[in-house]
Chains A and B, each alone.
Chain A
Amino acid sequence: MSATAVTGLPPVCPRCRAATVDLRSASPVPGVWSVFGCSTCLYSWRSTEPDENTDPEKYPAAFRLNPADMPNLPVIPTIPPRRTPASTS
């Protein structure tokens, strides 16, 4: 299904401000809302949400994510080493 945006594609992600935004979905009733997603921080939002979820200037500082910090987030659960061919369990 190809979605049609209600508004133009936002230039940056409200949360991490990366310019990696794409259109994910549009309302089945045409023209009501669009859903956008950021492929950098994986945030998603709807065009009709309150400003603090859609506007980078109003996005709460406590919830912002800096792409540079993402590789340092805790890994849960840790990835176990691959078994060697001889091991059985």
Chain B
Amino acid sequence: MAAYKDLREFLALLDAQKLLLRVNDPVKLEPDLGAAACAMTKLGEGSPAAIWFNNIAGYTDVQVAMGVHGSWANHALALGMDMDAPLKEQFFEFARRYQLYPGELERVTTAPWQEVVVDKDVNLYDLMPLFRMNRGDGGYFIDKPCVISRDLDDWDNDDVENVGVYRLQVKGRNRLGIQTVPQHDIAVHLAHAEERGEDLPVAIALGNEPLITLMGATPMLYNQLEYKMAGAMQGQPYRVVKTEKGLDVPWGSEFVLEGRVLAGVREPEGPFGEFPGYYSGCHLYPVIEIDKVSHRKNPIYDAVYVGKPWTEIDYLQAMTTSTPIFVQLKAEFPEIVAVNALYTHGLIVIVSTKTRYGGFAKAIGMRVLSTTHGLGYAKIVIVVDADVDPFDLRQVMWAMSVKVNPTGDLIIAPNLSENLLDPACEPGGMVSKMVIDATTPISPDTRGHYGQELDKPQGTDDWGKKLAAMVKDLQK
């Protein structure tokens, strides 16, 4: 476990591990920053993922970081694990710590982000190095913020305070659009505020150590606080500072914007190149007015490149998506072994499970659809046996190839709720979903002929050890 006090400390670690590319040559905000960040995602596994710019046209002292979460090595380091930790190990460790909830908060009264305060004539275009990420984006988006809100109906209840990563379009000097799809917790806060006819106070923290961003991207339960989860995940209390309005903000942030979601107001927002690999289109989304901006001296602006998978966002939404599904399923079905929701924010989910009786896997598949994640994302669920590693797609494809008889193993459920960013939706927000049972039929499901599965010749494991040693000698 590790607790990074801020983004700067984590960037220094990435630098020390040779996982940060520093671009000192002059660059333009567009198209260079988006293009370089996109190119970073195509260098291949094992290459550094984080990139840093400090010589940006028009500025003398601006720093922009991207790709901070953009590899399994970075993900492991964010969790304080060995940077070479295998994927499956990262999943089980993430899930283990996740179940230690709740951790604690450490409340302090001052933070470095209070160094510079602008509370009149706020102009975000002047205060932040905003830039267009992809060519069709309808403006400049703050796309890696932690947005903090509380429930006006339950203001003092810390457990329903929410920290979420929601894209923000800068639409005016102090005016933002916010994407709050109905499946997000902030949508509950906003609905309560709008029912009351009141604006919803929000704080927006940008440039954070990597863990709270992972927590903000995790669809945890409504009454689970991301800071308490971060405390559990890092093994020590998570340090926060209260704003004047009473919202808890990470101590280590670079920028903190304070404002209000305007009750009953919707304005055009988008498009923005989104995680499914498509632009989002335009919608009428809620609006935030910013009253105050605080930031560190020489703040670091942090952004995530979002493109056709895989890009940084796919690492950010990987274990954070898989784990809550796993934990929710496991609470009811101890047979669950592991969950892989790494692909396209878990629009497709692979679950491995023991099976109790015929039809059991289909029930598991349908339960995935009613998890907090399933309500808005999981569209195709593949259920495999316990001896199939869901993180090894070769094994998953084998199971799909031989265990599935389409007439008996597919369930298609029409017109379920879905994140409107899924381009398959018809209409937006609605989609049909599918469960594929790729487990071996067991009694009383007697379909197929699965009596003679191949195993290994006698002595294979011993030979494996012997040969591995020989390979090692060969490579000396």
Query: Residues of A at under 8 Å CB distance from B?
Result: 1, 3, 15, 24-25, 27-29, 32-33, 35, 37, 39, 41-46, 48-50, 52-53, 60, 62-63, 65, 70, 73-77, 79-83, 89
A33 to B271, CA, bound (A): 23
Q: Interface 1/0s, chain B 267-282, versus A by CB < 8 A?
A: 1110100000001001
Most buried by A among B58, B123, B173: B58
Whether B169 lies near A73 (C-beta < 8 A) is: no
Q: Is B297 an interface residue (CB 8 A)?
A: no
Which of A42, A49, A50 makes the CB contact (< 8 A) with B138?
Answer: A42
B126:A25 contact, CB within 8 angstroms: yes
Which chain B residue has the least Cβ–Cβ distance from A70? B268
Task: Find out whether the CB atom of B31 lies under 8 angstroms from the CB atom of A49.
Answer: yes
Q: Could you say which of A32, A62, A76 contacts B136, with CB atoms under 8 Å apart? A: A62
8 other A-B residue contacts (CB within 8 Å) besides A42-B138, A48-B30, A70-B268: A28-B59, A29-B58, A37-B171, A41-B138, A48-B28, A48-B29, A77-B182, A77-B191
Please name all residues of chain B whose beta carbon is closer than 8 Å to the beta carbon of A46 when the two chains form the complex.
29-30, 131-132
Q: Which residues of A contact B428 (CB under 8 A)?
A: 74, 76
Decide if A49 touches B30 in the complex (CB within 8 Å).
Answer: yes
- A-B contacts, 23 of them at CB < 8 A, read A15-B138, A29-B59, A35-B125, A41-B268, A42-B138, A42-B172, A48-B57, A50-B30, A50-B31, A52-B135, A53-B132, A53-B135, A60-B135, A60-B136, A63-B136, A65-B282, A73-B268, A73-B283, A74-B420, A74-B428, A76-B266, A77-B181, A89-B153
Identify which of B93-101, B194-202, B387-395 touches chain A. Answer: B194-202
Q: Which residue of B lies closest to A30 (CB)?
A: B58
Given known pairs A42-B139, A43-B139, A74-B428, the reply for A24 and B60 (CB within 8 Å) is no
Alpha-carbon distance between A77 and B123 when the two chains are bound, in angstroms: 27
Closest B residue to A29 by CB, please name it: B58
Given known pairs A28-B59, A53-B132, the reply for A79 and B177 (CB within 8 Å) is no
How far is A73 from B138 in the complex, measured between Cα atoms in Å?
Answer: 15
B180 in contact (CB, < 8 A)? yes
Provide the B172-208 mask, 1 if CB < 8 A to any CB of A, else 0: 1100010111100001001100111100000000000
Q: Which residue of the partner chain, among A27, A70, A89, contacts B58 with CB atoms under 8 Å?
A: A27
Q: When each residue 21-63 of chain B gets 1 if its CB lies under 8 Å from chain A and 0 otherwise, what string results?
A: 0000000111100000000000000000000000001111000
Nearest chain B CB to A17's CB is how many angstroms away? 15
The answer to whether A76 touches B31, judged by C-beta atoms less than 8 angstroms apart, is no
| Cβ-defined contact, B30 with A80, below 8 A | no
Residues of A within 8 A of B461 (CB): none
B-chain residues with CB within 8 Å of residue A49 when the two chains form the complex:
30-31, 132
Q: Closest CB-CB distance, B196 to chain A, in whole Å?
A: 6
What distance in Å separates the Cβ of A37 from its nearest Cβ neighbour in chain B? 7
A12 to chain B, nearest CB (A): 16
> CB-CB contacts of B123-145 with A at 8 A, as 1s and 0s?
10110001110011011100000
> B261 to chain A: closest CB distance in Å?
11
Contact pick for A37, options B172, B267, B282, CB 8 Å:
B172
Q: Which of A53, A74, A89 contacts B284 (CB 8 A)?
A: A74
What distance in Å separates the Cβ of A15 from its nearest Cβ neighbour in chain B? 7
CB closest chain-A residue, reference B28: A48
Chain B contacts for A35, CB-based, 8 A: 125, 130
- Given A24-B173, A27-B59, A80-B195: A74 and B30 within 8 A (CB)? no
Interchain CB contact under 8 A, B135 and A44: no
Tell me, rounded to whole Å, the shortest Cβ–Cβ distance linking B236 to chain A: 36
Complex Cα spacing A2 to B24, Å: 30
A73 neighbours in B (Cβ, 8 Å): 268, 282-284
Chain B nearest Cβ from A38, distance in angstroms:
9
Contact between A76 and B30, CB atoms less than 8 A apart = no
Are B125 and A76 in contact (CB-based, < 8 A)? Answer: no
Q: Which of B138, B153, B197, B267 has the most CB of A within 10 A?
A: B138
User: Is residue B264 within 8 Å, beta carbon to beta carbon, of the partner chain?
Assistant: yes
Any A CB within 8 A of the CB of B170: yes
> Cβ of A74 and Cβ of B283 under 8 Å apart?
yes
Complex CA gap A43/B140 in Å reads 9
Docked-complex contact A1 and B181, CB < 8 angstroms: no
